[in-house]
Amino acid sequence: MIAFITGATAGYGYATAEKFLRAGWSVVAAGRRVERVEPLRETYGERVLALKMDVTRRDQVLRAVEGLPAAFKAVDVLVNNAGGAYGLEPAHRAVLDDRDTMVDINVRGLMYCTRALLPGMVERNRGHVVNIGSVAGEFPYPGGNVYGGVKAFTHQFSLNLRADLLGSNVRVTCIEPGLSGGTEFSEVRFKGDKAKAAAVYAGTEPMTADDIADAVYWVATRPARVNINTVSMMATCQAFSPFAIHRTNK
């Protein structure tokens, strides 16, 4: 069994790669910083293919998939994990470059990787596309304007894939995590400000990358007759707020 994981060089992606490898799978660990997966190669040897790839570059994605070695071509599970949030400014002050980056990674990258690997799955009449979304795609919060939008796209794209693939044995799942620590997510969002990133998790017990990896592996290993459409998961310390109401003193 072969898993192709994007953004496998850190966070959810690295933990997911390790989870599948421990279970005996072979893994294509794709990302821009492939030197980071060297520990996996040292531990699991030839079952790891470190693939340098930027998901925002369509030509690069297509070449990388076309050039997969024979032992890694028949991908069973694609985990579209590459993504991220950039900035937390309100919509009227948001940095356009940050918005472009979020669309490129979370939307275009998702489409490119899925389009590159899906035809092979359909031809073999088996496979599974697992998209990493976010609770931000369903529940809004201040500053999450574009990130929430791109993760809403991930959710809807996943549902529409299911509609398109009806009649095949190719499955699709969207996994939507909430508060998760031990990853680079907040450091990326705050452009390397470690103190600001750490403050997000102060006084909490967030989920870990291993928790999300467990969910990915669980949905991928259900009986072939079962498709898990969506998994929404939060840390126990996280829940839903009352409606926000702005009041003025008159």
Q: Which residues are catalytic, by number?
A: 147
**Rounded distance, CA 151 to CA 234, Å?**
15
Q: How far is CA 154 from the centre of its chain?
A: 9
Query: Do residues 98 and 145 touch, judged by C-beta distance below 8 A?
Result: no
CA angle at residue 91 from 86 to 96, to 5 degrees?
55
Degrees (nearest 5) of the Cα angle 220, 234, 34? Answer: 55
Partners of 207 in beta bridges: 180
Query: How buried is 210 (Cβ within 10 angstroms: 0-12 exposed, 13-18 middle, 19+ buried)?
Result: middle
Report the alpha-carbon angle 231-58-120, nearest 5: 60
- State the Cα angle at 43 between 52 and 73, rounded to 5°: 45
- CA-to-CA separations, 9 to 54, 134, 205, in angstroms, rounded: 12, 19, 24
